[in-house]
Chain A
Amino acid sequence: MRATLAKFAVPAVLYVVLGVLVVIPIVMIAVASFLNVPPFSGAGALAFTTANYGQLWNSSIGMAAFNTFTIALGGSAIALVIGCGLAWLAARTDIAAPSFVYLAGIMPLFVSVLVAAAAWSSLASGHSGYINLLLTGLNIPWHVDVESRTGIAFVFGLYYAPYPFLFMYGALSLVHSDMEEAAALGGASIVTTLRKITFPLVKPALLGAMLLVFALMAEDFPVPELLGQPVGIQTLSVAIYNLMTHTPTQQNAASALSVLLMCVTAAFVFLQRRLLGGNDYRTVTGKGMQTRRFRLGWARNVAFAAVVGYVLVAMVLPGFALLEGTFRTNLYISDVAALFAPAGLSFAPLISAVTDPVVLSGALNSLGSGLGAALVGTAIFFSIAYVVHRTKLPGRTPLEYLATVPVAIPALVLGIGILWTWLASPLPVYGTLTLLSIGYIARFLPQGYRAVASSMMQVHDDLENAAQIGGASRPQIVWHILLPLIRDGVASSIFIVFILSLRELTASLFLYTTNTRTLAIVIYEKYISGSWSQVASISVLFTIALALVTLGGRRWLQNRV
């Protein structure tokens, strides 16, 4: 009897943990969407209503839905073209420096989209954007504007390209050139081979990438908030945020809209999973045994120039804009010449940013909450993976499904759900860094879990059986055999959750309080209050820090983010 109870105890604890992290927040939102007043607000008696959904039936939300759809569609198209192109060049052609092309494909992952959007707004908004100054200086009568639907889609396309890149790179690397050679020997032309052999093999990955990128863009908050909000372009995520925060707040309507957005992203993620046959794209990894690369001929240099062009636009230009913002004291730049004038450059803004106590405490908060999430999260992910893959305990299989659910929940929605969950809790977690850590663990559960579980699945269980037969108990086996063998997977999980947490803005917006601002929050607030110089200074430091952390841990990053 005791053994039976113990058998249920471990899975039960994990169900409670995942329930609190994932299930209760979703239920909170779903329930709130059918209530007349926000839950736990003390605003009055709770009553059931469907009015929140009816209320969404207006032109403003309709417009937001239209914007979300068109921007995500356009952005996905751009991201797919860039990502697939880079993947094919890096994986299957004789392009110069394929490792540089690979780096170009994943580089945007190291950049916070918040910082990127801020940089682009100074590069190409209105007539004073640096690019527009350049165009005017060259007497070209066009000007570009990222504060538009096209502009938002463009920025999405630039910075979400790594997702299709990783999908396609993995799939293309796994297409053994022998398969293509066999077709060629059978008499098929190159075009026929690509069409009949290569394309069908990578089609699931391609469709999977399309669906995932669309879902990610549909739920993204920072980019449309920074680039769309100022000119009145609202997406659904921005609309939810506005309903939640603009007085008079309409939190129940926000919940209803959250439920709708969640249904859309969940449907897309579900379809994507079906297409990949349960294989997450991150497990598609590894270099195939390439023997033959496609000869580009005259197009080799053109292709390489295109890759360099992408790096310039996605990385160098925004970097330049940030440096300008950081070191130029006078932000009113009248023409191109002034952009490069050495006078007026100063370290003062940077120094004031570094010594700003808000920035310092933000940095500490980011580190603390990120580290907490990474360590505690990985311990949780390890426990789930161990129960799922190494025991025969009852109810272990659904645990794994639960662990992948957050992929389908928009960060904004998860943030609101977690906020309400912990406002309702008697535990004094609201207002502490712990709440942020909890949010990060929930949000990055799928990524961290996968890193641990996939490395655990690669360890043959005979290795542990041999230790057990040798007299070792379960804890001894875990400590002496399993953990040393999967330490890369564990390190990878810690690292991924840490770096993703450092970059996180959307869920944090609902979970922070005055004393628990993270660096991302500080940048966002400074941007909203118009302190461009400070935004740029902090962003430069933030980006350097992220790059250093990423470089330091790149061996654990691989294809997993």
Chain B
Amino acid sequence: MSIGVTGLRKSFGDVSVVHGIDLHVDDGKMLVLLGPSGCGKTTTMRCIAGLDTPESGRISIGGKVVFDSAAGVNVSADKRNVGMVFQSYAIWPHMTVYQNVAFSLEIARTPRAETKARVEAMLELVGLRDLGARGASQLSGGQMQRVALARSLVTNPSVLLLDEPLSNLDARLRDYLRVQLREIQTSLKITALYVTHDQHEALALADDIVVLEAGEVLQRGAPIDMYYAPNSSAVAQFLGYSNIFDATLRTRTGATCEAVLDTCGLAVTGTAGTAGIADAAAVCIRPNDIHLSAAPSNTTASDLPENTYLAEVIFSSFEGTQVHYRARTDGGTIWDIVSPDVAGTIVMGTRAVVHVAADRVLILPRTRSDVAAQ
């Protein structure tokens, strides 16, 4: 079943949270809404679930209109046949695991034998087969998360909504459950909408990503496309470009541009984004695309080739498979760098040279409205 959202608007009191969002999720696909807290992603999801009522717009689930402000349609949440996993899990603490999962079936007066079979199958699927009789308040975070998933899937919902389901778990469990979640979703071929602020989760889970900020869509696309071609520095920031410097465009030949950093006047050569560019631009570089090496003695700035700068290492931290550095160029700009060269770790205080290839530098408009201004 697909999900369609058009022109969704929602405000709380005087604060407009979502202004005019359009979304579409194809049958059996997972769409991830990515954005910072307060960007309207959870509100959008709650509107689709029927927990919040939008001011205007149209929402359909599986081709059936569940909300339409113009036509006065508003199907209540209990009749939309969606499954939802809450950030807080919302496991009912006064019930057992079995009772939690069986609740919706019992409300729907499903025959007892069928309920039992479906609940047990679902517990098996999420790996909690032996925990049915356990009180829900005695579960660990990961177990609660899986009960929540089983509970949301047991009714065979048209769509599954997931509101930051992994954010309360520790890192290792999060990685493990993320894989399990994706496996279950693809094997059941259920349409899913997933809300998160975590780029790794978004990239790993999504068939499509929609980046939201301040209640508006910044960009939409497949993870791999978006990863290599963010359309603005705001999106780049979400996708792991940790070096983002405001800059002014100086020259442009084809896709190759030269820009000057506003803070220190360094000239940087890079590639313009596909969405076009304005004079007020941003230079965006991933930390692992910057190469750091100790500076040969007596090097002066004029000796250095393009996109190569003298700097001082001001922070160096060994992280196992990589080394994390911060380096301050002589103009005062601080660069965030990750290097896989663990053996050749450069110590703090070293004079160094930073270099980035021009095809690894994205020169992008700063915001979505700059794109629109083209």
Contact residues of B between 85 and 112, Cβ < 8 Å to A: 86-88, 90, 92-94, 103-104, 107-108
In the bound complex, how far is the Cα of B103 from the Cα of A476, in angstroms?
11
Residues of B with C-beta under 8 A to A472: 78, 103-104, 107
Docked complex Cα distance between A476 and B106 (Å)? 11
Q: Which residue of A lies closest to B83 (CB)?
A: A469
Question: Using Cβ atoms and an 8 Å threshold, which residues of chain B touch A484?
Answer: 94
A467 with B51: CB separation less than 8 A:
no
Cβ–Cβ < 8 Å partners of B152 in chain A:
469
B82 within 8 A of A: yes
Evaluate contact between B84 and A469: CB separation under 8 angstroms: yes
Note all chain B residues with C-beta closer than 8 A to A476.
Answer: 107
Q: Is B49 an interface residue (CB 8 A)?
A: yes
**Is there an interface contact between B90 and A463, defined as CB atoms closer than 8 Å?**
yes
Known: A463-B92, A481-B92, A485-B94. A471 touches B86 (CB 8 A): no
Contacts of B83 in A (CB 8 A): 469
Q: Is the CB of B155 within 8 A of A471?
A: yes
- Check if A460 is an interface residue, CB within 8 A of chain B: yes
B151 proximal to A (CB < 8 A)? yes
| Min C-beta distance of B334 to chain A, whole Å | 34
Most B C-beta atoms less than 10 A away, residue of A463, A473, A484, A485? A463
Q: Is B77 an interface residue (CB 8 A)?
A: yes
Flag if B90 contacts A471 (CB, 8 Å): no
Q: Determine the chain A residues whose CB is within 8 A of the CB of B104 once the complex forms.
A: 470-472
The closest CB in chain B to the CB of A460 belongs to B88
A-B contact count (CB 8 A): 64
User: A51 contacts which chain B residues (CB < 8 A)?
Assistant: none
Q: Are B107 and A465 in contact (CB under 8 A)?
A: no
CB pair B103 A469 closer than 8 Å? no
Contact across chains for A470 and B107 when beta carbons are under 8 A apart: yes
Asked if A465 contacts B78 (CB within 8 A), the reply is no
Whole-angstrom distance between the Cβ of B200 and the nearest chain A Cβ: 25
B103 touches which of A460, A462, A470 (Cβ 8 Å): A470
* Nearest CB on B from A133, distance (A): 58
B78 touches A473 (CB 8 A): yes
Inter-chain contacts of B77 with A (CB < 8 A):
465, 468-469
Q: Is the CB of A466 within 8 A of B78?
A: no
Is A7's CB within 8 Å of the partner chain B? no
Cβ proximity bits A463-498 to B, threshold 8 Å, 1 near / 0 not = 101111111110010001100110000000000000
Contacts of A481 in B (CB 8 A): 92
1/0 per position for A299-313, CB-CB distance to B under 8 A?
A: 000000000000000
- Contact between A485 and B93 (Cβ–Cβ < 8 Å)? yes
CB <8 Å contact, A465 and B155? no
Q: How far is the CA of A465 from the CA of B148 in the complex (A)?
A: 13
Contact call B86/A465, Cβ cutoff below 8 A: yes
Residues from 436 to 470 in A contacting B, C-beta threshold 8 Å = 460, 462-463, 465-470
- Between B50, B77, B81, the greatest number of chain A beta carbons within 10 A of the residue's beta carbon is seen for B77
| Contact (Cβ within 8 A) A462 B88 | yes
Do A465 and B51 touch (CB < 8 A)? yes
Q: Closest approach, in angstroms, between the C-beta of B340 and any C-beta of chain A?
A: 42
Cα A468 to Cα B88 with chains together (Å)? 16
Residue contact B107 to A466, C-beta cutoff 8 Å: no
Interface of A is mostly: helix
Contact with A along B45-84 (1 / 0, CB 8 A): 0000111000000000000000000000000111111111
Residue of A nearest to B86 (CB): A462
B window 136-194: CB within 8 A of A: 148, 151-152, 155
Closest to A473 in B: B78
- B100 CB to closest chain A CB, in angstroms? 9
**Bound: A521/B80 CA distance, A:** 58
Q: Residue-by-residue, is B269-293 near A (CB-CB < 8 Å gives 1, otherwise 0)?
A: 0000000000000000000000000
> Contact between A465 and B90 (Cβ–Cβ < 8 Å)?
yes
B16-36: CB near A (< 8 Å → 1, else 0) gives: 000000000000000000000
How far apart are the CA atoms of A467 and B82 in the complex, in Å?
12
Question: In whole angstroms, what is the CA distance A484 to B86 when docked?
Answer: 21
Q: Are B82 and A469 neighbours in the complex by a CB distance under 8 Å?
A: yes
For the complex formed, measure the closest distance between the CB of A111 and the CB atoms of chain B, giving whole angstroms: 36
The distance in angstroms between the C-alpha atoms of A470 and B94, with both chains bound, is 17
Q: Which of B90, B107, B108 meets A462, CB within 8 Å? A: B90
Q: In the docked arrangement, what's the CA distance between A465 and B82, Å?
A: 12
**Contact (A460, B90) CB under 8 Å given A470-B104, A471-B107:** yes
Give bound CA distance, A463 to B91, whole Å: 7
With A465-B77, A469-B83: A480-B103 Cβ-Cβ less than 8 Å: yes
Q: A460-B88, A473-B78, A480-B103 are in contact. Are A468 and B51 (CB under 8 A)?
A: yes
The distance from the CB of A478 to the nearest CB of chain B, in whole angstroms, is 13
Q: How far is the CB of B347 from chain A (nearest CB, A)?
A: 35
A-contact bits for B336-365, CB 8 A (1 contact / 0 none): 000000000000000000000000000000
Known: A476-B107, A480-B103. A468 touches B90 (CB 8 A): no
By a CB distance below 8 angstroms, the chain A residues around B103 are 467, 470, 472, 480
Output the nearest chain B residue to A481 by Cβ-Cβ distance. B92
Q: Which A residue sits closest to B80, measured CB to CB?
A: A469
Q: With a CB–CB cut-off of 8 A, which chain A residues contact B78? A: 468-473
Residue numbers in B under 8 Å from A480 (CB-CB): 103, 107
Alpha-carbon gap, A467 to B108, bound state (A): 12
Among candidates A460, A467, A469, A485, residue contacting B49 with C-beta atoms closer than 8 Å: A469
- A473 to B108: give the CA distance in the assembly, Å: 11
**Chain B residue, CB-CB nearest to A483:** B94
Residue of B nearest to A3 (CB): B74
Question: How far apart are A50's CB and chain B's nearest CB, in angstroms?
Answer: 45
On chain B, the residues within 8 Å of A466 by CB distance are 84, 86, 90, 92, 148, 151
CA distance A484 to B80 in the complex (A): 26
Chain B residues, CB < 8 A from A468: 50-51, 76-78
Closest 10 CB pairs of A and B: A470-B104, A462-B90, A466-B90, A462-B86, A468-B77, A484-B94, A469-B84, A472-B107, A471-B78, A462-B88
Chain A residues with CB under 8 Å of chain B are 460, 462-463, 465-473, 476, 480-481, 484-485
Contacts A460-B90, A470-B151 known; list 7 others, CB within 8 Å: A469-B77, A469-B78, A469-B152, A470-B107, A471-B108, A471-B155, A473-B78
CB-defined A-B contacts under 8 Å, sample of 28:
A460-B90, A462-B87, A462-B88, A465-B49, A465-B77, A465-B84, A465-B86, A466-B86, A466-B148, A467-B92, A467-B107, A468-B78, A469-B50, A469-B78, A469-B80, A470-B104, A470-B107, A470-B151, A471-B78, A471-B81, A471-B107, A471-B108, A471-B155, A472-B103, A473-B78, A476-B107, A480-B103, A480-B107
B: residues with CB less than 8 A from A are 49-51, 76-84, 86-88, 90, 92-94, 103-104, 107-108, 148, 151-152, 155
